[in-house]
């Protein structure tokens, strides 16, 4: 069983460790990296300021096949084969060619963590000097450092802060309640450039508003939508959401998930991409610790994999701009109606799923180690 050593208060004793792989951030991206290092026989350390699964970071809806392919099925709460789209005055139903599921965040994190077998400790990451990572409990050193810390990209240099950064903002409430449909609002009444949602998850509904414009505050519209839906605006959680691909590496550090801007523009779907890029990075690092490539080769290969998605992210950003422009106009209901065509929906959603396909979770385990840890 993995070693868990969450420390709080006086138990937050100093940390001073050298490890083979240091993964900063233990949410979707970081846990996916760790998963691919299971059984490597190397010292892999995950650090996060919170316990595993303690702070839910999203509405937790993802393509069901991603969850089942990663053996996360037990965490699924509700599954949907259609999307109900509300525009001013009219609603439409899009039948999906694959299903989305809402899930239990803590359980997904715990299952992924168990699959990885890494050590875990709580620490707030403050920055780094080279491959030494500074935390509020002391320094951690590793030849292989991963930043899976979310949009702040704490281990990067020159990260632009909101509202100037390419970020959207999202806020939601998690009241008790039930529902049958995954619902989206493309309605300027709540947000002019963005969308709103209600995602049922068994005993609760996750109701929120996302704005592509970081200057547009979303608290009042979130409260309004919750009230319109007849639920209490309680259990707030929100965050910034990157909507531009960033560099996958910087000198000796690997970035994955939101820290690398892997959340998809338009939809703000960032879980499966965090898993996809995290698994890919984990496999590259596995190759290094197994002696099949050097760290420099892994840095180059992962950067290349990241950059190969630039075109897709650019197109998604263009669609985001378009949605933002037509949302306040009478064109939006017409566009939403067009997607009632099964043919168009199948075409669009199959292409959309292919950006981070669920089959990526099924890649065979890495071959056995042949040489010792090889870095640069």
Ligand X SMILES: Cc1cc2nc3c(=O)[nH]c(=O)nc-3n(C[C@H](O)[C@H](O)[C@H](O)COP(=O)(O)OP(=O)(O)OC[C@H]3O[C@@H](n4cnc5c(N)ncnc54)[C@H](O)[C@@H]3O)c2cc1C
Site residues for ligand X per CB under 6 A = 25-30, 48-50, 55, 57-62, 124-125, 148-150, 152, 154, 170-172, 208, 238-239, 241, 257-258, 263, 268-271, 274
| Spatial distance between the Cα atoms of 7 and 90, rounded to a whole number of angstroms | 52
Residue whose CB is nearest to ligand X in the complex, by number? 270
Q: How many CB atoms lie within 10 A of CB 295?
A: 21
Query: To the nearest whole angstrom, how small is the minimum distance from the Cβ of residue 4 to ligand X?
Result: 15
* For ligand X, the closer CB: 28 or 254: 28
Of residues 124 and 244, the one with the C-beta less far from ligand X: 124
Place of tokens 């996809």: 276
For the bound state, the minimum distance from the C-beta of residue 53 to ligand X, rounded and expressed in Å, comes to 9
Cβ(270)–Cβ(58) below 8 Å: yes
Output 240 or 333, the one with its CB closest to ligand X: 240
Cβ 237 to ligand X shortest distance, Å? 6
Q: Which residues pair with 142 in a beta bridge?
A: none
- Minimum CB distance to ligand X, residue 366 (Å): 22
- Residue 252 beta carbon to ligand X: minimum distance, rounded to whole angstroms: 19
In the complex with ligand X, which residue's Cβ is closer, 229 or 258? 258
**Residue placing its CB nearer to ligand X in the complex, 165 or 374:** 165
Burial 255-283 (b: 16+ CB within 10 A, else e): bbbbbbbbbbbbbbbbbbbbbbbbbbbbb
Element (H, E) at 108: helix 105-116
Rounded CA separation 143/346 (Å): 44
Is residue 276 within 8 A of residue 35, CB to CB? The reply is no
CA neighbor of 213 nearest in space, from 193, 199, 198: 193
Give the residue with the Cβ less far from ligand X, 31 or 374: 31
Least distance (Å) from ligand X to the CB of residue 358?
13
């Amino acid at each position: 069983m993995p070693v868990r050593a969450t420390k709080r208060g006086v138990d937050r004793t100093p940390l001073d460790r050298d490890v083979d792989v240091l993964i900063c951030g233990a949410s979707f991206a970081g846990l996916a990296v760790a998963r691919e290092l299971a059984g490597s026989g190397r010292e892999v350390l995950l650090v996060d300021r919170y316990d595993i699964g303690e702070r839910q970071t999203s509405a937790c809806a993802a393509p069901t096949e991603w969850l089942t392919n990663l053996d996360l099925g037990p965490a699924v709460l509700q599954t949907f084969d259609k999307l109900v789209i509300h525009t001013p005055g009219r609603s439409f139903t899009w039948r999906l060619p694959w299903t989305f599921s809402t899930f239990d965040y803590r359980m997904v994190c715990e299952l992924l963590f168990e699959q990885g077998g890494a050590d875990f400790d709580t620490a707030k990451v403050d920055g780094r000097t080279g491959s030494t990572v500074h935390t509020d409990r002391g320094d951690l050193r590793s030849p292989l450092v991963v930043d899976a810390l979310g949009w702040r990209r704490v281990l990067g240099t020159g990260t632009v802060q909101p509202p100037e950064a390419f970020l959207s903002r999202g806020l939601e409430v998690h009241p008790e309640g039930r529902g049958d449909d995954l619902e989206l609002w493309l309605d300027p009444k709540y947000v002019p450039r963005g969308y709103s949602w209600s995602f049922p998850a068994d005993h609760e509904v996750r109701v929120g508003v996302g704005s592509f414009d970081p200057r547009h505050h979303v608290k009042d519209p979130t409260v309004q939508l919750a009230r319109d839906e007849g639920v209490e605006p309680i259990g707030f959680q929100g965050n910034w959401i990157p909507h531009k691909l960033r560099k996958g590496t910087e000198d000796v550090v690997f970035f994955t998930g939101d820290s690398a801007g892997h959340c998809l523009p338009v939809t703000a779907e960032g879980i499966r991409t965090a898993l996809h890029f995290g698994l890919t990075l984990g496999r590259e690092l596995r190759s290094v610790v197994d002696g099949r490539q050097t760290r420099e080769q892994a840095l180059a290969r992962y950067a290349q994999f990241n950059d190969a998605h630039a075109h897709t992210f650019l197109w998604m950003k263009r669609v985001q701009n378009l949605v933002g422009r037509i949302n306040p106009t009478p064109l939006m209901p017409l566009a939403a109606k067009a997607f009632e065509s099964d043919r168009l929906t199948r075409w669009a959603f199959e292409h959309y799923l292919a950006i981070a396909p669920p089959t990526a979770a099924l890649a065979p385990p890495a071959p056995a180690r042949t040489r010792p840890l090889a870095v640069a």
